[in-house]
Amino acid sequence: MAAWAFWSCLPFLAAALLTDIRSMRIPNWITLPLLVAGLIVQGMMNGRQGFLISICGAGTGFLLLLIMHLLGAVGAGDVKLFAGIGAWTGALFTLQVTVYSVLIGAVIGWIIVFSRRETGRRIRGIISRSAGFLMFRDHRLLRRRSDDLLKFPFMLAVVPGFICAYLYL
């Protein structure tokens, strides 16, 4: 991944961070230009090979975050944002950003849980749902009520994850 691709993504990520903190949403006016610009610029700078790398990166980011979205971990804006990141940076870098973001997100989540003193209740809930699922008693136990989910702007983990992935390279 070229340094120019990293720096080109940062303004979009900054805008996504601000809107995610403010409204817990990442609007299409951020994600779609990120995706389209990544495809066009990669195609123009690196020809057909760059365009194919861009398509593969967009697909990787989209599919990885789509799985997380279907599990209820992230919103649809995050899915589209990672497709855009992949369009600029390629599949491998997008995979690295995803891993770092999930790890940082887990740390943020635990900090929130410990600061709210919800640890015991959450751990009991996880054990209860897991035991019910493993005993094949009720698969609906794994589905959580929306008010039971721990929510925070995922961009708080994505921006540091993006920077960590870049620094790792």
Per-residue pLDDT of the chain (169 residues; tens, 9 = 90+): 688 889 999 999 999 999 999 999 999 999 999 999 999 999 999 999 999 999 999 999 999 999 999 988 899 999 999 999 999 999 999 999 999 999 999 999 888 877 777 666 666 666 666 665 555 555 444 444 555 567 889 999 999 999 999 998 7
8 A C-beta contact, residue 79 and residue 44: no
**Residues in Cβ contact with 56 at an 8 Å cutoff, skipping those fewer than 6 apart:** 86, 90, 91
pTM of the model: 0.82
Alpha-carbon span 154 to 80, nearest angstrom: 13
Rounded Cα distance, 48 and 93, in Å: 19
Domains of the chain: total: 1
Q: Containing domain of residue 134, as a range?
A: 3-168
CA dihedral sign, ordered 79, 83, 89, 93: positive
131 to 61, 76, 83, 136, 149: CA distances (angstroms): 32, 30, 35, 9, 19
d(CA 60, CA 39): 14
Q: Which two tokens stand for residue 167?
A: 């620094």
